[in-house]
Amino acid sequence: MITIETIGQVAEHYDIAVVGAGPAGLAAASRAAELGLSVLLADENPAPGGQIYRAITTTPVTKRAVLGEDYWKGGALVDRLRPTNAAYAPGCTVWSVAPDEAGGFELGLSLGGQARLIAAGQVILATGAQERPFPIPGWTLPGVMTAGAAQIALKASGLVPSGRTVIAGCGPLLYLLAGQLAAAGANIVAVLDTTPRRNWLAAIAAFPGFLRSPYLAKGLKLMAAARGRLPFKTGVTALAAGGSDKLTGVTVTRGGASETIPCDALLLHQGVIPGINLANAAGCAQHFDTVQHCWTPTVDDWFASSIPGIAIAGDGAGIGGAESAALRGEIAALDAARRLGRLSEAERNEKAAPTQAELARSLRGRRFLDLLYRPAPQFLAPPADETIVCRCEEVTAGQIRDTARRLGVTGPNQMKAFLRCGMGPCQGRLCGPTVVELIAQERGVSAEETGYYRLRPPVKPVTLAELAALPPTDAAIKAVVR
């Protein structure tokens, strides 16, 4: 592993560029490098591991039990990359992926305030997941964060919330985080579970699969540990964060009655969804996954997207968890090697077979979790008109509903033109799913029919100075010289 510190150290061309150094990206880069291919692994974060294994090589947490044994497994993924010749670029943002004239791809990179355009024969996007937006009144107040944010602060910096802490929402991470923060000494005054009781009816059909799942024992242990020790409140149907310029409490509704719990930190979680911005901007086809209830890039069995030469591995192509992400990265790398002519189809198939079998095992029981922890409709499309949906441009649910109704807006791109939702720096990452949900609900059509934002590069802000300093190509000069 060659660690790249400045943009000048990045080569002009790589056989494979991998975007994201979480489990999928680390496994893909390792596998590709082991096959003798030249690999660039570019990652925005200062250290490898992605979010699930965040700061695995640098964490200040010394008590292993605080983060749990699953976390420490991430070290092996980094150890595997170390002896290879892969170039690893931390703190490096990939803001564009586009086809080049040579039949490969041109990637726009930014590192240390300088941009570069480089070429890669094959691209593997391993951009992972993000938390599903959880729009409730007051969720923009300082003091309200995602559960994942608190977990990152713990893993990367050894920080725990210092005041009265409330964790609210739905999904396995809720229990995991509650347990981790409690073990790290946080004062958790309530865990508010929004899992709809009727989800059990839908999920029960998938229960036999879950019985053979690697999640089962782990999940039961997590839940029992968290529930036994922490003040759980289930059947939560509404939440509102209160405070004028910062959070002072959360109002919770259960069984028709409301109470306000004073708190200093509110950590929200409503499951995770694929981070699709780079794939979408590159033009990869996507569809609405009705079980996981999110937009997902469309991939085949080898995790190839609709654009030949771009594969999407890991949770960025559908939520499967850390273990499956690494396996999917591995399989995507084998197929990329086949496309580059390094492996024959037969060799690829033979090498992939054991990993594919392991992948099938690792995904057992996932459907049960997806159905059980599907968010309640009121947390996908906020009923209170004053709830901010687009945090960047401060567009409310009421404005979006009203505009959809009165102007007959049929999709999020039109809505963007009218209200600016999705136009801020986050580029729809925190409002896209909610805007789609609200329009779909207002028009009585599906999310699939409503569509999603058409995103464009750069997918992350890059300064004009960086762009202006890029060396001009002949084509660019010809385009302006008459």
Partner 1 sequence: MFRLMHEAKPAEALGFTFDGRALTARAGDTVAAALLANGIQACRQTPVSGADRGPYCMMGVCFECLVVIDGVGNRQGCLVPLREGMRIETQAGRRHPDGG
The binding site for partner 1 (CB under 8 A) comprises 44-46, 51, 55, 58-63, 66, 91, 113, 130-131, 140-146, 148-149, 152-154, 156-163, 184-185, 245-246, 264-265, 275, 391-394, 424-426, 429-430, 460-461, 463
Q: Pick from 36, 39, 47, 43: which is nearest to 2 by CA?
A: 39
How far apart CA 205 and CA 265 sit, in angstroms, is 37
Q: Report, in Å, the least distance between residue 6 CB and partner 1.
A: 15
Please say which residue, 99 or 424, places its beta carbon nearer to partner 1.
424
Please say which residue, 153 or 340, places its beta carbon nearer to partner 1.
153
Please say which residue, 248 or 306, places its beta carbon nearer to partner 1.
248
DSSP-based three-state secondary structure for 356 = helix
DSSP-based three-state secondary structure for 26 = helix
DSSP-based three-state secondary structure for 73 = coil
Q: Report, in Å, the least distance between residue 432 CB and partner 1.
A: 11
Please say which residue, 214 or 457, places its beta carbon nearer to partner 1.
457
Q: Position of tokens 């002949």?
A: 474
Q: Report, in Å, the least distance between residue 249 CB and partner 1.
A: 15
Q: Report, in Å, the least distance between residue 365 CB and partner 1.
A: 26
Phi, psi (deg, nearest 5) at residue 210:
-65, -30
> What are the Cα distances from residue 225, in Å, to 61, 231, 428?
20, 12, 36
How far apart CA 295 and CA 442 sit, in angstroms, is 19
Please say which residue, 152 or 223, places its beta carbon nearer to partner 1.
152
- Quick check: 270 and 261 in contact, CB under 8 A? no
Please say which residue, 252 or 392, places its beta carbon nearer to partner 1.
392
The tokens of 11 are what?
């080569």
* Cβ count within 10 A of residue 415: 27
- Quick check: 82 and 1 in contact, CB under 8 A? yes
Q: Report, in Å, the least distance between residue 66 CB and partner 1.
A: 8
Give the angle 208-191-129 at the CA atoms, nearest 5°: 60
Please say which residue, 371 or 388, places its beta carbon nearer to partner 1.
388
- Quick check: 297 and 276 in contact, CB under 8 A? yes
Q: Report, in Å, the least distance between residue 200 CB and partner 1.
A: 30
Q: Report, in Å, the least distance between residue 275 CB and partner 1.
A: 7
How far apart CA 399 and CA 444 sit, in angstroms, is 18
Q: Report, in Å, the least distance between residue 318 CB and partner 1.
A: 18
> What are the Cα distances from residue 18, in Å, to 246, 327, 356?
40, 15, 20
Q: Report, in Å, the least distance between residue 20 CB and partner 1.
A: 11
Please say which residue, 48 or 121, places its beta carbon nearer to partner 1.
48
> What are the Cα distances from residue 237, in Å, to 255, 388, 402?
8, 18, 24
Q: Report, in Å, the least distance between residue 204 CB and partner 1.
A: 33
CA atoms within 13 A of residue 77's CA, in its CB half-sphere: 32
* Cβ count within 10 A of residue 153: 15
- Quick check: 124 and 332 in contact, CB under 8 A? yes
Please say which residue, 264 or 323, places its beta carbon nearer to partner 1.
264
Please say which residue, 104 or 148, places its beta carbon nearer to partner 1.
148
